[in-house]
Amino acid sequence: MIEQFFILLPLVIGAYITFSLLKLPDFSIESAYLFGAVVSYLCRNLELPIVIFGAIFGGVFVAFTVSALNTLLNIPFLLRAIIANGLFHGVTQYLLGTSQKSFHILSSISSYTICLGITLALILGFGLLIYSELGYALAIYGNNPKFFENQGISSKYVVSVGLALGYASSALSGFLFALCNGFVDLTMNYGIILLCLTSLILGKSSYVYFFQKTRQNLVIPFLGLCIYCVLQKLLLKVGLPLKYFNAFQALCIVATLTLFKKTKQISFDHLGV
Amino acid sequence: MHVEHLFFKHHKGDDYFFKDLSFTLEKGKMHALHGKNGVGKSVLFDILHKTAPCNSLFLGKIVSEKIECLSQQFDITLANEFTFLENLQCSSFKKFPSPFRFLKQVDHFGSIEIEKILLRFHIDPTLLVHKLSGAQRQILALLMKLAKKPKILLLDEPTAALDEENATMVFEFLNSLQNITLFVICHDQKMIHRYATGTHFTLKKHHDGSRILIS
């Protein structure tokens, strides 16, 4: 469970930046997760830092493709996320050749140590970033995108950099998944949106309930993923078959939203996060 | 600010909306502009602020120092889920906010001391913006514009959505600003006569359809 937590935390942190802070319907995070794993697979025979950098590059590449679709063609965000998903599904299929490839790197460092190192570095990095000018800019964009128009701040820059950071983090998660499981699979990204949303909604609800705060904080994805993993473990213990887990996640979101909306303790936005 | 022989059409084929307008705004004073709804007061501000639509036609000369304009919907310029202080701090970001810089303490914008403003207008800087009164939100929006250190501030009906008490508060704040030329659209004659120390302009529709400015 702990290893799973360290694999998924970069993904949920990435989703927190794009979904919760920027408030973007960020479905192409699935592509970043898979593409990060695929690019690191292509670099598998090189040194470990290059493999990690390859994963980051994969995520950033997806982010800039999505940003470019808006900047150059002015396509709305939801549509460009769908287009990017289609596009990168084809690209990953082409790069992999088959639907699944085994994945092992040359480094002698254990996969658990790599997971731990990357996740701790991300927690430290994003923990600082979230209180920097850029962190505030990301959160303010989610609250009121027009703030930037009136203050002469580039909203394109804020969105592009926010996406790049979020997608790079998700891509690292994809790399860690492939590393720990020993394979890259074309379907490994299926359902991760639901996982992200469940974790973020659980995280936000419990954070606001316990701390009475709504401000941007890395505790939200951390707490959300903790609850998610504990719930998953409990359900497996009581014998829930894994094939029903997506349905359970959907129900979990509905239950949380209903509970907190009824008690009017937390207001949820258009993305529920 | 000097405006000389200003001609303006909304579209090239249209008649002139403004025909040969010339006026001067004396430095450091509050000037008022009034006129009926739809007469073109906001259009004049758009021209002065150089935000008129690109398919319009503009001729003439505007000589001015740095201008900022605050529209009627000042609320759209604020981040409601953030505090008064955070809004102020974020308004001083550069075009590309840095991941390596943290929020700076804001003591003053030019000659304006924030502490004095907070005390005078009973503003708690740690309150979220949506919990502030209308006048306090307007003062915040004005301060955010002042962060850009303008020499001229155009205000399009800054008290339109406020009651008399809140409107007085906003005008008191405007009155306390030094070395800034203010040009204010306002329908409240009482406020105009009390606070506008500069020229009072009236924009009217001429019989040929163009607008004339009477001082």
Which CATH number fits the domain that encloses residue B76? 3.40.50.300
Alpha carbon distance B107, A260 (integer Å): 40
Which residue among B78, B89, B96 places its CB closest to the CB of A144? B78
Residue A89 reports pLDDT greater than 80: yes
* B112 secondary structure, DSSP code: E
**Nearest residue of A to residue B75 by CA position?**
A147
**B-chain residues near A153 (CB < 8 A):** 93-97
**A215-A228-A236 Cα angle (round to 5):** 175
HSE-up (13 A, CA, CB side) for residue A176 = 25
Alpha carbon distance A247, B25 (integer Å): 67
Residue A162 reports pLDDT greater than 70: yes
Buried b (16+ CB within 10 A) or exposed e, B97-127: bebeeebeebeebeebebeebbeebebebee
Alpha carbon distance A234, B179 (integer Å): 67
Residues A178/A41, Cβ–Cβ less than 8 Å: yes
pLDDT given for residue A268 in this prediction: 67
Residue A8 reports pLDDT greater than 70: yes
- For residue B63, CA distances in Å to A109, B157, B212 come to 68, 24, 20
- For residue A155, CA distances in Å to A76, A148, B100, B198, B202 come to 15, 6, 18, 38, 38
- For residue A141, CA distances in Å to A24, A28, A121, A238, B134 come to 10, 19, 25, 43, 23
Residue A272 reports pLDDT greater than 80: no
The parent domain of residue B90 ranges over: 2-214
Residue A257 reports pLDDT greater than 70: yes
| Terminal CA-CA length for chain B | 15
A197 touches chain B (CB under 8 A): no
DSSP three-state, residue A105: coil
Q: How high is the mean pLDDT of chain B? A: 85
Copy the structure tokens of residue A53. Answer: 């950098």
Residue B137: closest CA among B83, B209, B196: B83
Q: Tell me which range, B17-26, B76-85, B102-111, is most confidently predicted by mean pLDDT.
A: B76-85
CB contact under 8 A, A140 and B90: yes
Alpha carbon distance B98, A134 (integer Å): 5
In this prediction the ipTM stands at: 0.80
If one counts every other C-beta atom within 10 angstroms of the C-beta of residue A15, the result is 28
Q: Which residue has the higher pLDDT, A216 or A254?
A: A254
CB contact under 8 A, A152 and B95: yes
CB contact under 8 A, A133 and B98: yes
Q: What percent of chain A has pLDDT over 70?
A: 96
A131 touches chain B (CB under 8 A): yes
B179: confidence class by pLDDT, cuts 50, 70, 90: confident
CB contact under 8 A, B95 and A153: yes
State pTM to two decimals. Answer: 0.85
pLDDT given for residue A232 in this prediction: 87
Mean pLDDT of B65-81: 85
- pLDDT tens column, A97-137: 888 888 888 888 888 899 899 999 999 999 999 999 999 99
CB contact under 8 A, B79 and A140: yes
Q: Tell me which range, A17-21, A164-168, B189-193, is most confidently predicted by mean pLDDT.
A: A164-168
Please provide the DSSP assignment of B4-54 as one string: EEEEEESSTTSPPSEEEEEEE--TTSEEEEE--TTSSHHHHHHHHTT-S-T
A74: confidence class by pLDDT, cuts 50, 70, 90: confident
Alpha carbon distance A266, A260 (integer Å): 6
Residue A196 reports pLDDT greater than 80: yes
Which stretches within B99-209 are classed as H helix?
114-120, 134-146, 164-176, 189-195
Which residue among B80, B96, B148 places its CB closest to the CB of A143? B80
CB contact under 8 A, A154 and B96: yes
- pLDDT tens column, A22-46: 888 878 899 999 999 999 999 988 9
Alpha carbon distance B161, A55 (integer Å): 52
Residues A176/A6, Cβ–Cβ less than 8 Å: yes
Residues B76/B70, Cβ–Cβ less than 8 Å: no
